[in-house]
Amino acid sequence: MRLLKNKTRLYYLFGGVLALAILYLILAFHIPAIKMRIFLFAFWLFGEIYLWMSILNSFRDIWKKKVPFFTLLVLYWLPTFLVSIAMGVLAVKGMQQLNKTLYLTVMGICVIQYLIKFLIFILVFLFDIIAFIIRHSREKGRRVLLYISLGIYAITFILMLYGTIWGANDFQIREVNIKTDVIKTEGLKIVQLSDLHLATWRNHKAIDKVVKMVNAQQPDIIFITGDFVQSVSEEIVEYLPILSQLKAHYGIYSVLGNHDYGRYARFKTEEERKADVQKLIDYQTSIGWKVLNNESVKLYDDSVPLGITLAGVEYYSPKKLFINEGDVDKTFQYVDSNDYVILLSHDPQAWYDVINKNLPANLTMSGHTHGMQLGFYYPNFKWSPVSILYKQWGGLYEKEGKLLYVNVGLGSVGFPARVGMPPEITVIIY
């Protein structure tokens, strides 16, 4: 029996290593930007196998009956099977040829399953470590813990289901009032959108709703702080007729996010990738938007300066977690420091350069974090797991007289749900 268990462990180890090797090759070929996340996938797979073996060992009497056993077998490994199918389709077709909405929805739902199961794995793993240290029998206690975990799974799954069906489209308007004597236009109203991730929406209704909500605000300026697409520029095309309906008195300005640079798809050459990025810029300019690529512009009203300069940096993070295309120094090269300067940067960590280099940006506006699409966001209390990675992840921040506003985004990435972190339309009034 012990020999059988040892052989089973070896089979799992061999199968897991083989699966990770194949996954790495697929990612390296089709989505090179995330190939190093293979270490995260390895951790997840270890948790998946460990939890499965714990369930089998804790409920041996039940699994002697074929119907319960095969029912659990199918339900437990279904997400892994779906991910395998999705990876196989990706390997054959490539990201550009996929039905991205279907692909990302399936992958997102599977990620939700993995997140829930990984939480249960952590509980079981910690219990086993403690039981081993104190030399206590693990079987009975682990069985009770797994029953409790089943309840946690059910509650969490219901929350995620709610977040997928309703939470992802529960658009919230967050209004922020800022006082300054520099801006000459009293009552100036700015609307910010961020992280549209257009390929992740199941239909056009959501974006149409957003456009109507924005126009109802009658904004003077609209800012869109990056991540229009998930992987390639063509994802924006079908939404251009809707996005072209956005209206703002002084114009619509945007910057690119990390997903807008074609790093999450495979191109034959670097020139082809850069051409796709230029296409995305051209699509935006075709509907009258101004894309700020490491540059700045002064705002005028009938040749009268408003005392406002807009600066936009391409994707930039001092920590270089993804790809850096941005040049902060170039962005501020011609900035009028006597103006009220608003910096658009997809990643909020560019604000560190604003402070450390004492750059003349009164307000920096960013997105990128999504608030991890999970947490609590109330006027007097906010929390999200993403705070582990980003100190400034949502809302208004101030340091040394310089402001930062981080929008938690409209779209989804990773999993197609929002729980306690509704998609945001920011309205800033001076």
Domain C-terminal end among 165, 181, 205: 165
Q: Domain containing 132: what range?
A: 2-165
Instruction: List, in order, residues 6 or more apart from 182 with CB less than 8 Å away.
Output: 307, 339, 340, 362
Query: Tens of pLDDT along 337-392?
Result: 999 999 999 999 999 999 999 999 999 999 999 999 999 999 889 999 999 999 99
Same domain, 157 and 178: no
DSSP 391: S
CB 143 within 8 A of CB 58: yes
Query: Tens of pLDDT along 282-320?
Result: 999 999 999 999 999 999 988 888 899 999 999 998 876
**How far, in Å, CA of 118 to CA of 116, rounded?**
5
Res 323 pLDDT > 80: no
Domain C-terminal end among 165, 194, 222: 165
Q: What's the pLDDT score for residue 196?
A: 98
Instruction: List, in order, residues 6 or more apart from 264 with CB less than 8 Å away.
Output: 31, 33, 34, 95, 230, 231
Domain C-terminal end among 109, 143, 165: 165
The whole-model pTM stands at: 0.85
Tokens describing residue 341: 């300067």
Q: What's the pLDDT score for residue 322?
A: 58
Same domain, 98 and 135: yes
Q: How many domains does the chain have?
A: 2
Q: Which segment of 51-60, 113-122, 315-324, 418-427 scores lowest on mean pLDDT?
A: 315-324
Farthest-apart Cα atoms in the chain, separation: 86
Burial 251-289 (b: 16+ CB within 10 A, else e): bbbbbbbbbbbbbbbbbeeeeebeebbebbbebbeeeeb
Higher-pLDDT residue of 94, 180 = 180
Same domain, 240 and 141: no
Same domain, 178 and 70: no
Res 100 pLDDT > 80: no
Instruction: List, in order, residues 6 or more apart from 240 with CB less than 8 Å away.
Output: 283, 286, 287
How confident is residue 321, by pLDDT bands cut at 50, 70 and 90? low
Res 71 pLDDT > 50: yes
Instruction: Identify which of 331, 378, 382, 322 has the alpha carbon closest to the alpha carbon of residue 349.
Output: 322
**How far, in Å, CA of 281 to CA of 312, rounded?**
14
Same domain, 213 and 86: no
Instruction: Identify which of 219, 221, 196 has the alpha carbon closest to the alpha carbon of residue 209.
Output: 196
Instruction: Identify which of 272, 200, 282, 277 has the alpha carbon closest to the alpha carbon of residue 240.
Output: 282
**C-alpha separations of 210 from 58, 203, 215, 246, 290 in Å:** 49, 13, 9, 9, 20
Average pLDDT, the chain: 89
Q: What's the pLDDT score for residue 248?
A: 98
Same domain, 158 and 209: no
Same domain, 73 and 137: yes
Instruction: Identify which of 430, 174, 176, 177 has the alpha carbon closest to the alpha carbon of residue 308.
Output: 430
Same domain, 355 and 422: yes
Rounded CA Rg of the chain: 24
Neighbour-count burial of 359, counting CB atoms closer than 10 A to its CB (0-12 exposed, 13-18 middle, 19+ buried): buried
Q: What's the pLDDT score for residue 90?
A: 80
| Region 75-103 average pLDDT | 82
Same domain, 212 and 149: no
**How far, in Å, CA of 234 to CA of 224, rounded?**
18
| Region 192-210 average pLDDT | 95
Res 138 pLDDT > 70: no
Q: What is the DSSP string of 215-237?
A: HHT--SEEEEES---SS-GGGGG
Higher-pLDDT residue of 380, 196 = 196
Same domain, 101 and 195: no
DSSP 419: B
Res 2 pLDDT > 70: no
Output phi, psi for 402, to 5 deg: -105, 135
Same domain, 39 and 184: no
Query: Tens of pLDDT along 234-281?
Result: 999 999 999 999 999 999 999 999 999 998 888 989 999 999 999 999
Res 4 pLDDT > 60: no
Looking at residue 226, which CATH number applies to its domain?
3.60.21.10
CB 346 within 8 A of CB 258: yes
Same domain, 69 and 204: no
**How far, in Å, CA of 78 to CA of 74, rounded?**
6
**How far, in Å, CA of 293 to CA of 316, rounded?**
11
